[in-house]
Copies of this chain bind each other. A is one copy, B any other.
Amino acid sequence: MQGVQVTVLAGGIGGARFLLGLRSLGHDITVIGNTGDDVTMWGLRICPDLDTVMYTLGGGISAERGWGREDETFRLKGELAAYRAAADDDSAPSWFGLGDLDIATHVLRTQWLREGVTLSEVTRRLCARWQPGVTLLPACDEPVETHVTLVDGRTVHFQEWWVRLHAGVAAKRIELTGASAAHPAPGVIEAIDSADVVVLPPSNPVVSIGTILSVPGIADALRRTTAPVVGLSPIIGDAPVRGMADACLAAIGVETSAYAVAMHYGRRPSGLLDGWLVDQTDKEAADRLTEEGLPARAVPLLMSDVDASAAMAQAALDLAEELRR
């Protein structure tokens, strides 16, 4: 397959690394990005997952951290902390990593949003600089935010649970606030409808891909597209490849395994998948899923470098091609 239209639903770091590999294969890629972890801090609108994809594909990401900018400094953040301490104002967070270079993105985005520009158009303008080599669309233009209700009764923004608490307090509910009033951003449904292949990369099934699917209309589009939908497991063995997906899966009562995540997505048309990739160490899960009617393959799923990610992407496209026949 050459020059196929690939539409990818992507979260942050994992999605971005997968996309680096996929892009190297030379296809025409549209990315539907997660906006559930968007947050307003210090009055600035921050879209961590969109930025991670944009910076990663644009060559500006911090290789070490996987988020934020390379050669970053945190001087402005230090100032904000000094003001906050003096004003005895503990309402604003110090635990969120806002670098000086990164903040420029948020300043511009906030300015444009306040002027009434849509998030889609803001993202397009920001990408004009970064040239990510893919079409990056937010899942929706309306502000949505993932809120997490903890077992101790508190409800906090996803970022507070994830970044501040490191998911250390168990979640009992994870919800995308604003979802019911949201609509797929311009181009999102079209990208699913007209795709040759739709890929669910090994992003978090709950707070990344799950959030995108919470925007009314997107899951339905996945169910009806003529393109094969292939997913890659974010779980290897009984642990997430990266991040704390296990804490999210526990909150929705899904076991942390490649098999369980596939069952959670489900098989089309009632579910979302036509095919599923698990890690080579989970061959048993692949065999079981295939036997149960969901074609699954076991391949190496560790994104150790761009070549490894590219091989994963190729395996997904190969499975899609096989399913199409």
Contact A101 B129 (CB under 8 A): no
**A94 → chain B closest CB, angstroms:** 13
In the assembled complex, A120 has its CB within 8 A of some CB on chain B: no
Given contacts A43-B114, A108-B42, A114-B43, contact A103 B76 (CB under 8 A): yes
**A78 → chain B closest CB, angstroms:** 8
Complex-state Cα separation, A43 to B122, whole angstroms: 14
Given contacts A75-B73, A129-B87, contact A80 B100 (CB under 8 A): no
User: Chain B: which residue is nearest A74 at the CB level?
Assistant: B100
In the assembled complex, A164 has its CB within 8 A of some CB on chain B: no
Question: Contacts of A111 on B, CB cut-off 8 Å?
Answer: 42-43
- Per-residue CB contact flags for chain A residues 58-85 toward chain B (1 = under 8 Å, else 0) read 0000000000000001011101101101
User: Chain B: which residue is nearest A80 at the CB level?
Assistant: B104
Question: Contacts of A44 on B, CB cut-off 8 Å?
Answer: 107
Give residues in A with beta carbon < 8 Å to B. 42-44, 73, 75-77, 79-80, 82-83, 85-89, 100-101, 103-105, 107-108, 110-111, 114, 125-126, 128-129
User: Chain B: which residue is nearest A127 at the CB level?
Assistant: B86
Counting from the closest, the 10 A-B pairs by CB-CB distance are: A79-B104, A43-B111, A86-B129, A86-B128, A87-B125, A76-B104, A100-B100, A75-B100, A87-B128, A76-B100
Complex-state Cα separation, A108 to B88, whole angstroms: 14
User: Chain B: which residue is nearest A102 at the CB level?
Assistant: B79
Question: Contacts of A110 on B, CB cut-off 8 Å?
Answer: 43
Contact A76 B89 (CB under 8 A): no
